[in-house]
Amino acid sequence: MIYDIYTSATGDRRRFNDNCSNCILSLLQDCGKVYFQDLEELKMRESTTKEVKVSQGAKEVVKKAKVKTAKKRK
């Protein structure tokens, strides 16, 4: 099952023998590499998204503050 998921995700159609310990080890190592690369990319996207949300939220706070001060001046 891991082999099928790995090949569908990466397109790598390696020779695989489920009775060969070297084949299994190699497959699991490669799956681990792909997993951690994906995890790192996901963390980068989340940090970028958080920065954008914070900056947008700060702009909304500034806009609300400007509206409140404008009302007081009238």
Q: Phi, psi (5° rounding) for residue 13?
A: -105, 70
| pLDDT tens column, 1-42 | 999 989 998 888 888 999 999 999 999 999 999 999 988 888
The DSSP H or E segment spanning 71 is: helix 21-73
Amino acid identity of 4?
A: D
Residue 68: count other Cβ atoms within 10 Å of its Cβ: 9
**Count of structural domains, the chain:** 1
Amino acid identity of 36?
A: F
| pLDDT tens column, 41-58 | 888 887 776 665 666 655
- Whether 30 and 54 have beta carbons less than 8 Å apart is answered as no
Model confidence, pTM: 0.56
Q: Angle, nearest 10°, between helix axes 21-73 and 2-10?
A: 60
Domain containing residue 55: 2-73
